[in-house]
């Protein structure tokens, strides 16, 4: 599966199916389900562009495949935790931590360091936001935190995908 477009569509389809399956079979119906679904949909949309872009420039090596496997597991865990505020915030945080660890390894092997540094910064900001969301959730502000995460992530992705695209050399 060396074609970046095929990889992007495969990842998007798999994560979309996981989200739909979770929504209809596993998600806890609660006031948190809608903001979790919004976040997850935007995340999967972003993933299409990310996989398409980075699979063109990043080599497939063991460490990248291992991190990708962890990311896949975390996507599925995030999908399965929709409607459960603490679990969802926790897995969103874990996802951003794992993503933040993926790209520094690429700094050593590909010449596009500017785009990598920007992606690392964006993922670290996502990690910080998810940590704050998890903290707010644990402090009893779960509903507000879920909506802040969804809305902030939606606006960030509009900016980073369409206004000042991050997946461009």
On the question of pLDDT at 99 being above 70, the answer is yes
- The predicted pLDDT at position 92 comes to 98
d(C-alpha 144, C-alpha 4), whole Å: 37
Percentage above 90 pLDDT, the chain: 83
Query: Which among 97, 5, 113, 105 is positioned nearest to 49, based on CA atoms?
Result: 5
- The predicted pLDDT at position 4 comes to 92
d(C-alpha 35, C-alpha 43), whole Å: 12
On the question of pLDDT at 166 being above 80, the answer is yes
pTM: predicted TM-score of the whole model, two decimal places: 0.94
Rounded to 5 degrees, what are φ and ψ at 58? -100, 135
- The predicted pLDDT at position 60 comes to 82
- The predicted pLDDT at position 1 comes to 57
């Amino acid at each position: 599966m060396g074609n970046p477009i095929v990889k992007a569509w495969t990842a998007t389809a798999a994560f979309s199916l996981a989200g739909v399956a979770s929504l209809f079979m596993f998600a806890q119906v609660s006031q948190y389900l809608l903001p979790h679904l919004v976040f997850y949909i935007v995340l999967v949309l972003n993933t299409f562009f990310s996989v398409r872009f980075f699979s063109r420039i990043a080599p497939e090596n063991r460490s990248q495949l291992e991190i990708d496997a962890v990311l896949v597991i975390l996507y599925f865990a995030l999908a399965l935790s929709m409607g459960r505020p603490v679990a969802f915030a926790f897995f969103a945080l874990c996802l951003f931590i794992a993503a933040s660890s993926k790209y520094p390894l690429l700094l050593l092997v590909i010449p596009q360091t500017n785009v990598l540094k920007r992606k690392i910064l964006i993922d670290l900001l996502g990690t910080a936001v998810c940590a704050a969301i998890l903290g707010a959730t644990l402090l009893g502000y779960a509903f507000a935190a879920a909506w802040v995460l969804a809305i902030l992530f939606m606006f960030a992705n509009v900016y980073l995908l369409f206004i000042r695209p991050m997946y461009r050399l």
